[in-house]
Structure 1
Amino acid sequence: MVNSVEDDLGTSTSLGSQISDEDSVQVETNQLLTGEASVVKSSGKKRKEMKKETRLGISVKKDEDFGNWYSEVCRFGELLEYYEQVKGCYILKPSAMKIWNVIRRFFDGEIEKMDVEEYYFPMFVSRGSLEKEKEHIKGFAPEVAWVTRAGESDLETPIALRPTSETVIYPYLSKWIRGHRDLPLKINQWNNVVRWESSDTTPFVRSREFLWQEGHTAFATKEEAEQEVLDVLNIYSRVYEELLAVPVIKGTKSENEKFAGALETKSIEAFIPSTGRGIQAATSHCLGQNFAKMFDITFEDKKGKRSMVWQNSWGISTRSIGVMVMTHGDDKGVVFPPKVAPVKVVVIQVPIKGAVDDQVLCDACEAVVSTLREAGIRAKADTRDNYSCGWKYADQELKGAPLRIEIGPRDLANDQVRIVRRDTGAKMDVKRGDLIEQVKNLLEKIQRNLYDVAKRKLEECTQKVETWEEFEEALRQKKLILAPWCDEVEVEKDVRKRSGSDETGGGGAKTLCTPLEQPELRQDTLCFASGKPAKKWSYWGRSY
């Protein structure tokens, strides 16, 4: 399980070294990753002091200490910084924001086709509005943060910071919707929300403030609302599978796991093989008419009859970045899928003493970067001359660029470059004239390979069971479990209680979702937990 390591990583984990040499300071890749720095000194040259900072690489392995591995990858990969003023909050750095903006542009383009309009609502919620829908607030009550003072004065009535915006937006739908011509009304906003997590916080996955989009829509009929729930779910699935290269399962949440106040919740679920835990990746809720009743959202239909609207809400958050890191990251650092990579190609000069002037190599690197950028490929040069090539290779591997291009004297002489893949480490020499075509081809291959590898791991971790004994064994082996279920709330609660402790100290298992694509269910199939007739196949497992 990923646990918060804020206290351990609240200070900079870097190795500051005072080392000197006029000609070369080489910190090899393997030494960087173990935190050991060696200095290679040239003879016959004057020595002078140079300040060097040699940052540590990943100090733990993904399969041995996942929690600390994940925190280090997020930090050293320059995705975030821990915010020391408030525990459970994080500073998102440029790489994370660039990924989030790629997701935002893609998603905005898709929902624009659905005639969804962008709004922005205030983050403050009155107590009366928040508490109007009792079941809804009950689901969020432990996480609601309240503003109780302004300056030196106590507020007469505390104001909540939005944990979600149903109770912020819906009082205004009752004003804006009067007749059937006002429907459908489709709202989306990109904003932050605050949920005061009492459990351990985890970067991107579970934090006290996070970024997301939240859609809120109203329709005249249930059929229209139900169709939109599926349409949005498909877009979320594409965000994960097409952009982030993460395979997901589309399904329906159980009655016990659905969104508080919703009629039904559909979700996409990811699974992290290293921990054996599922993670809710995005949700699309059919709210029914519950909120319409609470906030008096009605309209006059074509026959002049007064009716309540049917509503949906749906959202995806910066949790998606964390899921991507968990899925593709390795013991060297972050691995970015090319479609969302902040930098797709990093170009590094490889100097050889006495062969070619270093400035000539730097100019060649900048020329390659310019060529790539003109072709629409995000690229940058790492021409720092105070680090060895090995150090820079490892540093860029920490940061996850899909491709590394190396340019040395031999490459200049042969009018070529060397390209190294981040996902496999494979190397190839490419003529400058073929560079753009080869880079585009390799980026497509990397995107496809990352998804295929993740899909294969997901399939290998999935186990179909029909008995409690098989379920227990699969849970011990950190599997994603597909089991027949009687679809009873009390049975799910009992499963969670019975599976609540094991030798690893893991929490209880629960339903992750009931897949939309159902395997065949024989008439004589019994629920794995209760022995009653099974009604459906559902995915089970521990989760974040």
Structure 2
Amino acid sequence: MGKNLTKRDEDYSKWYNELVVKADLAENSGVRGCMVIKPYGFAIWEKMQAALDKMFKETGHENAYFPLFIPKSYLSKEASHVEGFAKECAVVTHYRLKNADDGSGIVVDPEAKLEEELIVRPTSETIIWDTYRKWIQSYRDLPLLINQWANVVRWEMRTRLFLRTAEFLWQEGHTAHATEKEAVEEAEQMMHVYADFAENHMAVPVIKGTKTESERFAGAVETYCIEALMQDGKALQAGTSHFLGQNFAKAFDVKFATREGKQEYVWATSWGVSTRLMGALIMTHSDDNGLVLPPKLAPIQVVIVPIYKGLEQLDAISQRVNPLVEELRAKGISVKFDKRDTHKPGFKFNEYELKGVPLRLAIGQRDLDNGTYELARRDTLEKETVAGEEVVGRIEVLLADMQKAIYDKALAYREQHITQVDSYDEFKNVLEEKGGFISAHWDGTAETEERIKEETKATIRCIPIAVEKESGSCMVTGKPSQERVLFAKAY
């Protein structure tokens, strides 16, 4: 199964597309640009969701749900917001179908036109801030810390499974605060939460930073982001958190009474990550044999494959394996004992290698006689023989080691692919020959940023926040620059 994949160095895009389908993660649907997330892919998303949801609740956030449909007039209330999303919106204009008079099939009933068109949610700021106007009256109602897990629709022309689809799953947090300082701290906190999740659960190293004005979320005063680097040298935005100032509060007239009895507009944030993280997970770790999953997000952490001839031998293996399965599950380790008699062990080995199961235990007659297991780890493909009484401890050690090892490997790749340049010619050369992040000076103007994008297809991924500022000269114009920024071609 895994052996039929296109090699990454032959065609990275084709390798990715094949892997998503062959590993049973997702497939294209009958609706153009939309995907079906299959059970194995959804199981990974559920583990992501559970980990993030726990982190959100630990920082004081609560879950709610808001409508899928947004009245068109709501979007027009915040000018930069509607401008940012206008070209991606799906619009509902009618509420009823009917059989055509000539019997040719079903048509839209022209008598059922909506008084006001409804927008299928591209993001929920407008419907949520219209609701918050009713929820917020006084400083006692603040801060309001709400998250929702939902689907959104952004009408994409060129789609790719997980990375860019017309409909996708995500979470979106929307918070209201009494002061600017509190709102900025919230936006920064959520960026750090996302980075923590990416690095400690996904094993994906990220760079934290802010977006340039032209790359900010529509309607935001500041956008914080985490940027990851894929194996093909392209960047991927893995999460964003936005300080919205008072823009939406003013647009929807959301005021509160202060302790002194004055009426003031609240301060806002919004933040989100989506099923695009699945794409980041695949492209950061996987290899020519298939998926490589971090143990913390693997739906199956350990698979046990029996090698047997006849039911009697299988029964003997099962008697040995069943207590082990119970012991592993009691320790919170997800395990599958694959006793299917419809597939040979070699097929199963290939299948679980393709699906990125971190550890594989094989047991045959010789292992029964010797009281051992053959243990193979997915990331390095190394095998070892382990005594039965030591196998649980060894599994625990290897799962922890794998989680760290694949992070360290991704980090080493990223560090090798951050290149500092001082001239535009050098920039272009590194971009084409090496790829990755390029650290360079920029004069801070949107004109220069757009010129670089048009001429090279590279964008400013972020202005890093964890590095010391270094003044210099813009690589393109020679004008003064206060700090280096990170450029890359990106998904």
Structure-2-length-normalised TM-score: 0.94
Map 1:21-36 → 2, pairs under 5 A? none
Tell me what 1:167 maps to.
126
C-alpha distance 354-315 of structure 1, shift in aligned 2 (>3 A)? closer
Match of 1:117 among 62, 65, 69: 62
Cα distance in 2, alignment partners of residues 154 and 364 from structure 1: 67
**CA shift digits 1:239-258 (9 cap, x unpaired):** 11000100111000000100
Q: Check if 1:528 corresponds to 2:475.
A: yes
Match of 2:19 among 54, 73, 83: 73
Q: Check if 1:139 corresponds to 2:84.
A: yes
Q: Which ranges in structure 2 are unaligned for 5 or more consecutive residues?
A: 98-111
Q: Check if 1:452 corresponds to 2:408.
A: yes
> Which aligned segments of 4 or more residues in structure 1 are displaced greater than 4 angstroms?
353-356
C-alpha distance 355-105 of structure 1, shift in aligned 2 (>3 A)? closer
Match of 1:189 among 119, 134, 148: 148
Matched residue SS, 2:297 = coil
Match of 2:271 among 308, 314, 318: 314
Matched residue SS, 1:197 = coil
Match of 1:283 among 237, 240, 246: 240
1:172 counterpart letter in structure 2? T
Mean Cα displacement is larger for which, 154-163 or 256-265? 154-163
Match of 1:240 among 192, 198, 209: 198
Q: Which ranges in structure 1 are unaligned for 5 or more consecutive residues?
A: 1-31, 34-56, 500-507
Cα distance in 1, alignment partners of residues 413 and 234 from structure 2: 13
**CA shift digits 1:99-149 (9 cap, x unpaired):** 222222222222223321211001000011112112101111111111122
**CA shift digits 1:472-521 (9 cap, x unpaired):** 1111122311111221111101111222xxxxxxxx11100000112441
How far is the alpha carbon of 1:355 from its aligned partner?
12
Q: Check if 1:249 corresponds to 2:207.
A: yes
How far is the alpha carbon of 1:76 from its aligned partner?
1.4
Match of 2:42 among 68, 74, 97: 97
How far is the alpha carbon of 1:189 from its aligned partner?
0.6
Q: Note if contact 1:519-1:537 (Cα within 8 Å) is conserved in structure 2.
A: no
Tell me what 1:53 maps to.
none
How far is the alpha carbon of 1:354 from its aligned partner?
8.7
Tell me what 1:266 maps to.
224
Q: Note if contact 1:355-1:409 (Cα within 8 Å) is conserved in structure 2.
A: no
Match of 1:490 among 440, 443, 447: 447
Matched residue SS, 1:531 = coil
Mean Cα displacement is larger for which, 147-156 or 88-97? 147-156
C-alpha distance 115-59 of structure 1, shift in aligned 2 (>3 A)? closer
Match of 1:512 among 453, 461, 473: 461
1:123 counterpart letter in structure 2? L
Cα distance in 1, alignment partners of residues 264 and 34 from structure 2: 43
RMSD: 1.6
Q: Check if 1:540 corresponds to 2:478.
A: no
C-alpha distance 436-303 of structure 1, shift in aligned 2 (>3 A)? same
Matched residue SS, 1:357 = helix
Matched residue SS, 1:256 = helix
| Pairs aligned (count) | 476
Q: Note if contact 1:58-1:331 (Cα within 8 Å) is conserved in structure 2.
A: no
Cα distance in 2, alignment partners of residues 366 and 61 from structure 1: 38
Cα distance in 2, alignment partners of residues 387 and 177 from structure 1: 60
Cα distance in 2, alignment partners of residues 157 and 295 from structure 1: 18
Cα distance in 1, alignment partners of residues 145 and 449 from structure 2: 35
Which structure has the highest helix share of the two? Answer: 2
Tell me what 1:150 maps to.
95
1:78 counterpart letter in structure 2? D
Tell me what 1:218 maps to.
176
Cα distance in 1, alignment partners of residues 259 and 23 from structure 2: 57
Q: Note if contact 2:60-2:145 (Cα within 8 Å) is conserved in structure 1.
A: yes
Q: Note if contact 1:509-1:541 (Cα within 8 Å) is conserved in structure 2.
A: yes
Matched residue SS, 2:489 = strand
How far is the alpha carbon of 1:423 from its aligned partner?
0.2
How far is the alpha carbon of 1:532 from its aligned partner?
0.4
Q: Note if contact 2:442-2:484 (Cα within 8 Å) is conserved in structure 1.
A: yes
Q: Note if contact 1:417-1:431 (Cα within 8 Å) is conserved in structure 2.
A: yes
Match of 1:383 among 316, 326, 339: 339
Q: Note if contact 1:185-1:218 (Cα within 8 Å) is conserved in structure 2.
A: yes
How far is the alpha carbon of 1:429 from its aligned partner?
1.2
Percent sequence identity is 41
Mean Cα displacement is larger for which, 172-181 or 323-332? 172-181
Q: Check if 1:58 corresponds to 2:17.
A: no
Matched residue SS, 2:242 = strand
2:458 counterpart letter in structure 1? A
Structure-1-length-normalised TM-score: 0.85
Cα distance in 1, alignment partners of residues 91 and 327 from structure 2: 53
Mean Cα displacement is larger for which, 177-186 or 339-348? 177-186
Matched residue SS, 2:401 = helix
Tell me what 2:301 maps to.
344
Matched residue SS, 1:383 = coil
C-alpha distance 174-386 of structure 1, shift in aligned 2 (>3 A)? closer
Q: Note if contact 1:518-1:537 (Cα within 8 Å) is conserved in structure 2.
A: no
